[in-house]
Structure 1
Amino acid sequence: MSKKILDLLPGLALAVVIAIVARFLENLLPIHLIGASVIALFIGMLINHYYKSDKLKPGLKFTSKKILKFAIVLLGASLSIKTVLTIGKLSLTVMIFTLLTCFGGGYIIGKLLKLNWKLSNLISAGTGICGGSAIAAIAPVIEADDNDIAYAISATFLFDMAMILLFPVMGRALGLSDMAYGLWAGTAVNDTSSVVAAGFAFSEAAGDFATMVKLTRTLSIVPVVLIFSVVSAKIKQSEAGEKQNSVYSRKKVKISSIFPWFILGFVALTMVNSIGVIPSEFGLLAKDISKFLMVAALAAIGLNTDITEMKKSGIAPMIHGFIISALVVIVALVVEYFMGIV
């Protein structure tokens, strides 16, 4: 047992050190344009490009898989269904249309660009829900490769940077009110830090509203992850049936494979927090720990990612990300227009 723990230490320690450095670099920025998760991922990829060691592998695998799942469970303690009621039906209406655009349009675009379904849906999830956090939550459910995770996060990050710069300019050009702009930014910009940056670049009131809308949008992780759990299990079941061509093989999928323990834990904590059982101080602490562990997990994913292998995917994933991001921006604005907000 002690030898197993010792084997995990080098990789785990390096991922934690990178996470600390990434958080430090994030805090140095006067405006949080880039989240620590993205910084950690890129640092890990850069290190892996120049230095590789078999001694790191056990700890990196443990961090990118087990620690990531534990971080997702803890995230549930900071989410509450009450947030939906706080924001109201306005954001939910826009959010439903943007999510349908992401996953419906993403499915078609992914097919046309001949992307594997895991990478295509990771990009759609990152664009539709909350950037790196959504990608990190869905990746273990569909058993995505580290290269696909890194590529999906890279794609959403690039378009987030563009949105931070363009959204305030477009919002003023369109003459949007603080509420209309906040709703637009909160439903169309990907990562939380990017929503905050884009929102407050317009006005303080728009920034506050955009942040609240973004929190509501984050809750969609719950149903989306559950849906992907079922979809992934069905695909495994179908593949098993094709390989063995027997009725027996089609009955082998377990309930635990459809609803993994970490998803059950995540949903359970979200529900418990929604009824007010979890103290707010504990919820905030759990969220901070969860975010740090996610940063460490993404550092490990970066350390497992081969830039050369990523290049083989070509430009198609970036085109996918661009089209989906553009569609979401347009759909969110159109829905607001028909609702009489713009």
Structure 2
Amino acid sequence: MKSSVAKIIFLVPIISILFFPISSSLALILGFVYALLFKHPFKQSCHKAIHHFLKISVIGLGFGMFIKETITTSKQGFSLTFFSIILTVSLGLLLTKLFKLDKKLGHLITSGTSVCGGSAIAAISPVIKANNNAISVALGIVFLLNSIALFVFPAIGHWKHLTQEQFGLWCAIAIHDTSSVVGAALGYGEEALRVATTVKLSRTLWIIPLSVLSMIIFKTEGEKIKIPYFILLFILAIFINSYHIIPTSITNEIVFYAKKLLVLTLFLVGSTISINDLKSTGIKPMFVAISLWIFISLFSYLYITYNM
């Protein structure tokens, strides 16, 4: 009986998101509240859905962008992306050693913080042959910090009167997962959303050199590097929109439903956050993760406000 009720209630926010204007932050809260009150009947399916829905929604957002603006934005964010990754990875290696944290767990947390959250953890974990416990702990911490960022960053952005361009760039650098980056920028403005999506996806490509570095550090051989191929489809969508291959009325609809799908994805993310997993992580992994997050947030904020 409880399982049936949980399944029915799970569908209510999904239907609401699809047919009514629900914000990204509210969707995440609804998911988190659901996780607190019910035993998730579709948890494994949701993990798979999050993985696919995020990629589809990001590709859909590409139909609202143009080549020239995208290239300009990518160039603007390149130096900040480069320095933030180098410094964060270096600090992560230092803190892992300093606090005598499990080397592979520390590296996964560092990878998720420096590049792109869950995607980086998923890509790096087979390269360094991390065990399931290390992967679960790293993902749990990253998802928790992403959830906090979704509320904190827009509030700080408005408080400090950041422009949409500044806020979009800050989100792309300092928030881990693409879903939370786009979710935070979604309510800030169209320009913030465009900048955040473009810079974050170009940042995702750094998974490749980070995977190579991971192979060197952990001396692993013969492991395949996962290349985020969906970025190519995102670029293709930008080309299609830039050259008006598809009528504007259709691309507008695609972007509209891509945003809806992203909000739905954030609800699913919230619903899969496990309090028990977070409690079992211990103080050291959480402290390292928060330290890295504060560092990359402050570094990128100061860089952006003094250079833009």
Measured against the shorter chain, the TM-score band is 0.5 to 0.7
Once residues 318 and 62 of structure 1 are traced to their aligned partners in structure 2, the CA distance between those partners, rounded to angstroms, is 27
The equivalent of 1:151 in structure 2 is 141
Q: Partner residue of 2:50? A: 64
In structure 1, the gaps of 5 or more residues are 1-9, 126-133, 172-179, 200-207, 243-248, 337-342
Return the offset for 1:39.
2.9
CA contact (8 A) 1:103 1:124 kept: yes
Structure 2 vs 1, CA of residues 226 and 324 (structure 1 numbering), >3 Å: closer, same or farther? closer
Deviations 1:54-80 (A, max 9, x none): xx3553344233444433443433333
Compared CA separation, residues 294 and 263, structure 1 to 2 (3 A): same
Question: Is this contact kept in 1: 2:17–2:264, CA < 8 A?
Answer: no
1:51 to 2:39 alignment: yes
2:49 corresponds to which letter in structure 1?
A: T
Note closer, same or farther for the CA distance 1:195–1:288 as it changes in structure 2 (3 Å cut): closer
Work out the CA distance in 2 between the residues paired with 1:116 and 1:150: 13
- Structure 1 residue 287: Cα displacement: 2.5
TM-score, with structure 2 as normaliser: 0.66
1:216 to 187, 195, 205: 195
Secondary structure of 1:268's counterpart equals helix
* Matched residues, number: 276
Deviations 1:96-146 (A, max 9, x none): 343234322221232233253343333344xxxxxxxx6576666557956
| Aligned residue number for residue 330 of structure 1 | 302
Secondary structure at the counterpart of residue 141 of structure 2: helix
- Alignment check: 8 A CA contact 1:150 1:301 kept: no
Could you tell me which of 110, 113, 116 is aligned with 1:120?
110
- How far off is 1:155 after superposition? 1.9
Q: Quote the residue 1:177 is aligned against.
A: none
- Cα distance change on mapping 1:185 and 1:313 into 2, 3 Å: same
- Give the C-alpha shift of residue 330 in structure 1: 0.9
The structure with the larger Rg is 1
Using the alignment, how far apart are the partners of 1:232 and 1:289 within structure 2? Answer: 33
Instruction: Find the counterpart in structure 1 of residue 85 from structure 2.
Output: 103
Q: Is the 8 A contact 1:25 1:36 kept in 2?
A: no
- Which whole-Å CA distance do the structure 1 matches of 2:122 and 2:7 have between them? 18
Residues 235/71 of structure 1: CA separation in 2 closer, same or farther (3 Å cut): farther
User: Structure 1 residue aligned with 2:234, among 237, 245, 266?
Assistant: 266
Identity of aligned residues (%): 15
Paired residue type of 2:60: L
* 1:250-329 alignment, distance < 5 Å: 250=222, 253=224, 258-259=226-227, 262-311=230-279, 312-314=281-283, 315-316=286-287, 317-329=289-301
- Mark the CA change 1:293 to 1:63 in structure 2 (over 3 Å): closer, same or farther: same
C-alpha displacement of 1:325: 1.0
**Residue-by-residue CA offset, 1:175-228 (whole Å, 9 max, x unaligned):** xxxxx855443433564565576x7xxxxxxxx7xx525513421234333331
Q: Distance in 2 between matches of 1:40 and 1:218?
A: 24
What RMSD, in angstroms, separates the aligned Cα atoms of the two structures? Answer: 4.3
